């Protein structure tokens, strides 16, 4: 089982997204991420779908997700909480909590070792104007796929 648990820590495909825009210069800060399906697929691939399960609890108003792994004849659980997303608050919170529980098993832990990447944007963030900057390439054209853009510039 130890060999399988070590495999959960192996690097998997990941994507990039904008985390924040600068108010001072036309730049955006990007971070690497995986989604909940990536965690599920890694658990399935390494452990088999029958050897892990998830559960959710509400404790003191906080949602916790747990991932249980069947180890040496018993279920071992690791839990974590998450934050709501801007799009679908409850679903995002469940997904975030699940991914964080996955990190406790090693899935996606490598992401924390990656550098933050800064990319160019069409303009700086101006909350007074309520503008919405976007990522641009070296010719100033809008970038539609940030992951592809960052990978091609490395």
Asked whether the predicted pLDDT for residue 117 surpasses 70, the reply is: yes
pTM of the predicted protein model: 0.86
Mean pLDDT of the chain: 92
Distance CA 86, CA 2 (A): 38
For residue 86, the model assigns a pLDDT of: 61
Asked whether the predicted pLDDT for residue 112 surpasses 70, the reply is: yes
Read off the pLDDT of residues 39-82 as tens digits, 9 standing for 90 and up: 999 999 999 999 999 999 999 988 999 999 999 999 999 999 98
Q: Which of 46-50, 53-57, 83-87, 119-123 has the lowest mean pLDDT?
A: 83-87
Read off the pLDDT of residues 91-110 as tens digits, 9 standing for 90 and up: 778 999 999 999 999 999 99
The CA distances from residue 75 to 21, 40, 54, 107, 118, in Å, are: 43, 17, 11, 18, 42
Strand ranges inside 72-111, DSSP E: 74-81
Spans of all domains in the chain: 1-34+109-154, 37-107
């Amino acid at each position: 089982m130890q060999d399988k648990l070590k495999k959960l820590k192996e690097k998997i495909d990941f994507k990039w997204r904008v985390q924040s825009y600068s108010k001072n210069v036309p730049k955006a800060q990007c971070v690497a991420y995986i989604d909940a399906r990536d965690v599920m697929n890694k658990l399935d691939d390494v452990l088999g779908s029958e050897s892990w399960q998830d559960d959710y609890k509400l404790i003191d108003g906080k949602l916790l997700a747990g991932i249980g792994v069947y180890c040496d004849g018993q279920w071992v659980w690791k839990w974590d909480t998450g934050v709501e997303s801007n799009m679908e608050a409850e679903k995002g919170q469940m997904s975030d909590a699940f991914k964080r529980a996955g990190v406790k098993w090693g899935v996606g832990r490598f992401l924390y070792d990656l550098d933050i990447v800064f990319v160019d944007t069409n303009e700086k963030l101006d909350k007074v104007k309520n503008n919405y900057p976007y990522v641009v390439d070296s010719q100033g054209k809008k970038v539609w796929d940030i992951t592809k853009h960052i990978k091609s510039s490395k």
